[in-house]
Amino acid sequence: MKAEFSEFQFSISVLGELKKGLRFGRAKNRSFYSPTPYEEHSLGYDIEIKAAVPIFLQFKRPCYLRRTNAKYYKNRKFEVPYYLFELNTRVASKSRSRISNGLNISQHNTLISLAHQGNHVYYCSAKFHSIGDFDQFYVKDEICENSVFIKTNNLPKYPNNTSHVIVYNQYGKFKPFSQGNLELDEPTSFDDFIEELQHADRKSSQEVVRDLNEAFHTDLSDLSWGAIQKELIRRGIYMLLLVDL
């Protein structure tokens, strides 16, 4: 069954907690900054963003499976109950978007390209599915604590328009299932996510733009942070910048 909350509800809640700086007191003088689609400053103009740790998130609304006849339980590939979300390997349709018009690149492969450039790129999904749990965690600012943050740097690129999923359980153990049935054993908790960012190297505004240009095969250097965020959101990708205060 699909989660009872929407992907939008989940993503806004995660971003809200991150921007509040929850659980980030251990990294002094740093804060999450998320450009809005309406900001007008061009890249490198705003003094706050001369250098930052770029983070790219793709939010996923999970399916919850608990029966023993569930697909990935049948062959004892994964224990039940578990959660599952699909990877988007569809090619972007033509539009006026600066980062999708004419490109033959799927969302998933774009994320992998960004990760291979040394960026921090994650799939983020919930370890719960009921609206009751959502409301409870939302009130307590515990959405992030009850989510998985799955690094993409060790995931492969996939052919366009092929079927692939990631399966995980409430403990954060996960596996991508596809033709290759790649098995990974990596940490996925919010604590692990925060720990990695504490030791992350900063990049200049120019380096962030260079990475985006290479991943999307276009030139975004004339756009503001807000305009770039708007373009990314159109592809289902959200950018955060971890900046020094």
pLDDT value at 22 more than 60 = no
Q: According to the model, what pLDDT value does residue 8 have?
A: 93
Please state the pTM of the whole predicted model: 0.85
Q: Greater confidence, 89 or 183?
A: 89
Tokens of 73: 């339980």
* Ramachandran area for residue 109 (φ above 0: left; ψ -120 to 50: alpha; else beta): alpha
Residues of the chain with pLDDT > 70, as a percent, come to 72
* pLDDT range class, residue 41, cuts 50, 70, 90: very low
pLDDT per residue as tens digits for the range 147-184: 999 988 888 888 888 888 888 887 767 766 654 555 56
Collapsing DSSP to helix, strand or coil, 227 comes out as: helix
pLDDT per residue as tens digits for the range 129-152: 999 999 999 999 999 999 999 988
Sheet of 165-168: strand order equals 63-65, 82-86, 165-168, 174-177
